[in-house]
Amino acid sequence: MRLVTWNINSVRARLAHADHLIEKHNPDVICLQETKVTDNEFPLKSFIKQGFEHFEISGQKSYNGVAIFSRTPIEKIEAPLWCKKDDKRHLAVKLADGTIVHNFYVPAGGDVPDPEQNDKFAHKLTFMKEMKDWFAAQKSENKGMILVGDLNVAPLENDVWSHKQLLKIVSHTPIEVDHLNDVMASHDWIDMMRHIIPEPERLYSWWSYRARDWKKSNKGRRLDHVWVTPALKDSMKDMFVDLDIRDLEKPSDHAPVIADFNLAL
Domain residues for the domain of 255 are 2-261
In the chain, what percentage of residues exceed pLDDT 70?
100
pLDDT score at 75: 98
Handedness of CA 50, 150, 84, 184 (dihedral sign): positive
Task: Summarize pLDDT for 63-86 with one digit per residue, the tens.
Answer: 999 999 999 999 999 999 999 999
Q: How many domains does the chain have?
A: 1
Residue 174 pLDDT greater than 80, yes or no: yes
Query: What phi, psi does 127 have (nearest 5°)?
Result: -60, -45
pLDDT score at 203: 98
Kindly state the average pLDDT of the residues 109-136. 98
User: Mapping DSSP to helix (H, G, I), strand (E, B) and coil, where does residue 256 land?
Assistant: coil
pLDDT score at 140: 80
pLDDT score at 265: 81
Q: What is the CATH number of the domain that holds 53?
A: 3.60.10.10
With 0-12 CB in 10 A as exposed, 13-18 as middle and 19+ as buried, what is 4? buried
Residue 142 pLDDT greater than 80, yes or no: no
Kindly state the average pLDDT of the residues 216-225. 97
Handedness of CA 147, 153, 157, 161 (dihedral sign): positive
Contact 19, 11 (CB under 8 A): no
pLDDT score at 143: 85
Task: Summarize pLDDT for 238-247 with one digit per residue, the tens.
Answer: 999 999 999 9
